[in-house]
Structure 1
Amino acid sequence: MDIIGPGAGAFRLPGSTVPDALSAAALETMRTAAFLVDGEGLLLAVNTAALKLFRRENDEFVGQDAHDLMHRDRHGRPLPRSGCRLRQALLTERTDQSDLGWFACGDGTLLGLSWVITPCSVHRGTGALVLLHPRGPAPARGDEEEDLSTALTELDRLALLAETTTQVTSTLDVDEALTRLAALTVPLLADWAVVDLITEGDEVRRALVVQHEDGVLIEREDLQGPMPPVPQESTMPLSRALRGAASGLAGPSTYQGPPDSGIAVEQHRLFTSTGMHTAAIAPIRGLRDVLGALTLGRSQRPDPFTRADLPLLEDVTRRAGLALDNARLYERQRRVAETMQRHLLPQMPVVPGLELSARYVPAPHASQVGGDWYDAFPLADGATALAVGDVVGHDLEAAGRMAQARNMLRAFAWARSESPGTVVTRLDEALAHIADVPMATLILARLVSGDDGLWRLHWTNAGHPPPLLVGHDGRTRFLTGAHGVLLGAGNHRPRPDAVLTLPPRATLVLYTDGLVESRRHSVDHGLERLARHAAALARRPLESFSDALLAQVRPDDNDDDVAVLALRTPDSPSPSEATA
């Protein structure tokens, strides 16, 4: 389908090419806010509706990265590229939509907007058209009071419950689930949504307060935060809901008398601050426990909540409870996995004369741990062993296999003062018979200080990306020697070894493929980026070097875990030190 504006054929959906000079004119035919981006997410054109919506000038848009410029999380913080649905749809060239995303305006305010993205062809290749609009205002009401049960048809009610199940259960992030819950219920049912959660330590936290105003959802962080404990004797509606009792109604008069608890004081503050004249409150129940409570309040709509509204609210919170239960279970599993990872990955040893630094970043969409690992440990003959490896997979099973391989490698390396190639050959033979490790890549190195005060690196490479040597002057070199096949490939030949004297003040970087692999670029491109950024960081302190290298080099579309081990050699020894 073509979108025809001034200058016929100026702008087309997939299948044609869009000259930038004409695309802005085509966008002006749209009454909703719209902008056009290229395949990298750079803004090519934006219409007047979007300029007004975001309170920006045209030159603030065109040429900028749309994600960095506008897209935020619900707290107004920059949204990680790896977790951005809109950007993922752009990169995978597919159509997607969301009922609620958060976007920054030119004046610093935050907008909650619905968005739709669809791929289209631009003169630079494939880009995308993005349409945005505020969530619609509440339907107009007549003068007669009309409660929710009659305002919504049975079809509307079923649609809301189905959408709640779909939207809230499709994420394992608690904050995102709460944001979706608020967007489903406001402004359809109320002007305000308030979620109070009970933590695993039985503390209460006001996790979300959202207001609908002028067609936009606004998060009120000033009303969020810790809450007093749940009193067992209180008969107030929120206290009862947090104990798992039936849902109820509340209004300003409910909290006018002497407060019976700290929660009553906070509720009085809530009604005063929001201007709510009526509220419906229902418990959010999980499979075993009460997880919190949802409060829907009306301040602009004149009709009050009635008890006829409570069954629908309870149906909504029942579905939300199951979703939050799953999200919390996932978070507990993630914490267990992270604890396991901390115990599996070693602390760096102290090696006189050397600096050592290590980093591990878990896979974003798996169980937060995986098969990537690093190791550094002293050997019986005084040398230091360095290792970086990658066992197939990035889940808990891969982490267990990684621990097997790492521990066996330590034992073989310690038992005999043999070359790295011989040690890895023994490891490969053992893994095939006594361990459940199907395939793995590995670099094993021995680091020894010579009589001249310089450090010598002996290494072998079993199918792993090559180490990177960075001189103090910024010159870089990949150590491509001693390259053999990966572990588990049925190799029966002796593995090669290589030796290199490391120059003074040089930085050696061992890493796993997650640092350089991307779905959008070749590995060669990733290696080139690694060398370029490492050269620019060559004179930074080693800890700062490691942090910056991860932040600048790791691809934003990476779905693998990453391990990095870096070392830095000392200055040149003086003649007296070298001969001592």
Structure 2
Amino acid sequence: MLRAVFDSVGAGMLVIDSHGRITASNPYAQQIVGRSREQLLGADVHDLLHRDADGNEVSRRGCPVLGVFDSGRPAEGSEEFYLGGDGSLVPIIWAATPLQHGEGPESVVIVFHNFKKHRDASEQTAAHLATLEELTAQLSMVAEVSVLLISSPQTGEVLDKLVRLLVPDLGDWAVIDLLPEGNTEKEMRRVAVHSPGDHGTAESLKGPLPPLSRTSRAALARAVYSSRPVLVDAGTQAGAPDDPLALAHRQLFEHLGEGCAVVVPMYTRRGIFGALTVARTGRRAAYTDAEVLVLSDIARRAALVIKNNWLFEQQRDMAETLQRQLLTPLPQVDHLRFAARYEPAKQTSEVGGDWYDAFLLADGVTCMVIGDVVGHDLQAAAHMAEVRNMLRALAWDRQEPPSTIMRRLDEVMTNTSDAPMATAVFARLDGPDGGPWHLHWVNAGHPPPLLVTAEGRARYLPGGHGPLLGTNAALHLGLEWPDAREELPARSTVLFYTDGLVESRGQHLDTGLEQLRHHAADLVGLDLEELLDGLLARMGPSGDDVALLALRLPAAGQGADHGTAPPQHAHSPATTDRGAPGSRVEGTPVRDTSDPA
């Protein structure tokens, strides 16, 4: 019965004595190791069968089966290999149990299975897991790159961050060479270089590159003209041509480190924008097909962002040019002082519908306007021009209160224009040349004007509020714009502004208004130009366009027939670049009414 069990059990079984010699084996054991009973009996189990994963003999001291004789305790494992009769290695999973008779074990029974199928499955699972981990890491890299690429509209800043992100995960150094406006006829420039711990060398490698040539065999030229990745290894570098572009690319390896590299083109369907070079130094493994695909995808994403940024900058420049042309010179009226500023948004790099205006009406009255049309693009700038010109036409020869002008403008916008909603303040300055002066205004949903006396007392003028332009007639609300009047002290300053000066995502509107009131009161003793510069510097607007229009009144009686003329400014508004970002726009008196002649 015991022999039948020994021979029939579904596992290989060997019995060894205290010297490690095989004293018994069953048919399953003989089948697994591919040896006959005669070959096994009397043989040393360790010398005959035990091998490492490479087929080498293992030290007897490291044999866990023989160690059972010393410990007297069972042992098991799955990392051992037996040498088959045909010379192949058989991975086994085993258990060894001592057979004790007296004080110590006289024999050990080894039960084992062929572990190849399980080991293959395990290795395959591990390989799959490793592949998934690698894929996850690559997807994470691509996702991180995608977030980075949309983090800023500044192309140079984005590309500099991109090469830093690629090192060291995908290489030991990285470089981006850019073609201006995607034109291969223009001079290529190296705009981004990153090599950890060598900032000075990286910076020195930036700058213009030799001209591209379709006949060049340089890796950079081949990648640009073929729109395909080019692999570079030690052999390729040694056989590189001696044309200027190849030598310029060779400098990267000489200064940043020799090794293997891949040059991937940065292109879209609309053209080529440059190339990304990523390299590994020393003996690091060459780039795999999967890594080249990842780098190619990153390069294409970068090219899309570059193209969009360039298109956006072109549109922005067009809108800014349009807006600059529409911000006309301020009037020169007796002893009144005017100054204005316009600054496009800095963070979003967008031009919006903000505008200011000041002009003389047919009856000689000075009027002032500040407004903001909804939107931030070229269309918003065009709508701003449309609304501005409609307001000028409606106000020019009508001796009507501002509320009537505002109601007519709302009706005209609704019925003859596709301009969207807008906010605005329209004001008239009434009074004789020497004063007293009154501000007569109406407000269509715009931040209130700020009045600052010469002594530094500042307060907002909250009256005259009505609905936004483009809503009342369109929605048949039946609302009105009430007229407001305020006597203006001599030498006082009235400030009109758009909401970009006082609003931001990080603070409440009331906080911005209070800051503006405080700073204006503190700076009112300055010249009007310096006042506006100081306000912009202290308020630090960045999230939206900003338009500013300031009026300063003369001293009481100044400008009347018996008054004295104020000092003349050194420059005329006709020679000022009006409406450029941060530019000064000033109206200065050119008529001295103190001399009847």
Give TM class, smaller chain. Answer: 0.5 to 0.7
Q: Would you say the 8 A contact 1:458–1:498 is kept in 2?
A: yes
Flag the 1:480–1:236 CA change in 2: closer, same or farther, 3 A: same
Unaligned segments of structure 1, at least 5 residues: 1-151
In structure 2, how many angstroms separate the alpha carbons of the residues matched to 1:423 and 1:307? 71
Flag the 1:367–1:307 CA change in 2: closer, same or farther, 3 A: closer
Query: One-letter code of the match for 2:546?
Result: V
The corresponding residue for 1:112 is none
Q: Would you say the 8 A contact 2:466–2:480 is kept in 1?
A: no
Residue 169 of structure 2 is aligned to residue 191 of structure 1:
no
Residue 395 of structure 2 is aligned to residue 413 of structure 1:
yes
Correspondence for 1:275 among 254, 257, 272? 257
Correspondence for 1:324 among 289, 298, 306? 306
Correspondence for 2:221 among 239, 262, 267? 239
Correspondence for 1:500 among 464, 487, 491? 487
Query: One-letter code of the match for 1:212?
Result: P
The corresponding residue for 1:545 is 531
In structure 1, how many angstroms separate the alpha carbons of the residues matched to 2:517 and 2:442? 21
Give the TM-score normalised by structure 1.
0.64
Q: CA deviation at 1:356?
A: 2.5
* Structure 1 residues 190-241: Cα deviation after superposition (integer angstroms, max 9, x where no partner): 1101000101163312110011349xx9993332223232133221111222
Where do 1:59-78 residues align within 5 Å?
none
Correspondence for 1:424 among 401, 406, 409? 406
In structure 1, how many angstroms separate the alpha carbons of the residues matched to 2:342 and 2:271? 35
Query: One-letter code of the match for 2:187?
Result: E
- SS of the equivalent of 1:243 reads helix
Q: Would you say the 8 A contact 1:249–1:307 is kept in 2?
A: no
Correspondence for 2:320 among 320, 338, 359? 338
In structure 2, how many angstroms separate the alpha carbons of the residues matched to 1:256 and 1:449? 85
- SS of the equivalent of 1:267 reads helix
Flag the 1:268–1:439 CA change in 2: closer, same or farther, 3 A: closer
- SS of the equivalent of 1:564 reads strand
Residue 263 of structure 2 is aligned to residue 289 of structure 1:
no
Correspondence for 1:167 among 145, 157, 162? 145
Q: Would you say the 8 A contact 1:514–1:554 is kept in 2?
A: no
Flag the 1:230–1:433 CA change in 2: closer, same or farther, 3 A: same
In structure 1, how many angstroms separate the alpha carbons of the residues matched to 2:467 and 2:297? 58
In structure 1, how many angstroms separate the alpha carbons of the residues matched to 2:307 and 2:143? 13
Q: CA deviation at 1:187?
A: 0.4
The corresponding residue for 1:376 is 358
Where do 1:44-193 residues align within 5 Å?
153=131, 155-157=133-135, 159-161=137-139, 163-164=141-142, 167-168=145-146, 170-171=150-151, 173=153, 174-193=155-174
* Seq. identity, %: 44
Give the TM-score normalised by structure 2.
0.62
Q: Would you say the 8 A contact 1:167–1:180 is kept in 2?
A: no
In structure 1, how many angstroms separate the alpha carbons of the residues matched to 2:233 and 2:217? 14
Task: Flag the structure with larger Rg.
Answer: 2
Flag the 1:337–1:473 CA change in 2: closer, same or farther, 3 A: same
The corresponding residue for 2:552 is 568
The corresponding residue for 1:146 is none
In structure 1, how many angstroms separate the alpha carbons of the residues matched to 2:447 and 2:131? 61
Residue 373 of structure 2 is aligned to residue 391 of structure 1:
yes
- SS of the equivalent of 1:188 reads coil
Query: One-letter code of the match for 1:471?
Result: T
Residue 189 of structure 2 is aligned to residue 208 of structure 1:
no
Stretch deviating more after TM superposition (530-539 or 163-172): 163-172
- SS of the equivalent of 1:566 reads strand
Flag the 1:576–1:328 CA change in 2: closer, same or farther, 3 A: closer
Query: One-letter code of the match for 2:487?
Result: L
Stretch deviating more after TM superposition (484-493 or 282-291): 484-493
- SS of the equivalent of 1:546 reads helix
In structure 1, how many angstroms separate the alpha carbons of the residues matched to 2:288 and 2:466? 73
Query: One-letter code of the match for 2:390?
Result: M
Q: How many residues in Structure 1 have an aligned counterpart in Structure 2?
A: 424
Flag the 1:323–1:443 CA change in 2: closer, same or farther, 3 A: closer
The corresponding residue for 1:303 is 284
Stretch deviating more after TM superposition (280-289 or 166-175): 166-175
Q: Would you say the 8 A contact 1:209–1:219 is kept in 2?
A: no
Flag the 1:273–1:571 CA change in 2: closer, same or farther, 3 A: farther
In structure 1, how many angstroms separate the alpha carbons of the residues matched to 2:441 and 2:275? 59
Flag the 1:549–1:253 CA change in 2: closer, same or farther, 3 A: farther
Q: Would you say the 8 A contact 1:286–1:324 is kept in 2?
A: no
Unaligned segments of structure 2, at least 5 residues: 1-129, 565-592
Stretch deviating more after TM superposition (406-415 or 516-525): 516-525
The corresponding residue for 1:264 is 246
In structure 2, how many angstroms separate the alpha carbons of the residues matched to 1:389 and 1:210? 46
Flag the 1:521–1:367 CA change in 2: closer, same or farther, 3 A: closer
Q: Would you say the 8 A contact 2:496–2:550 is kept in 1?
A: yes
Q: Would you say the 8 A contact 2:318–2:378 is kept in 1?
A: no
Q: Would you say the 8 A contact 1:255–1:264 is kept in 2?
A: no
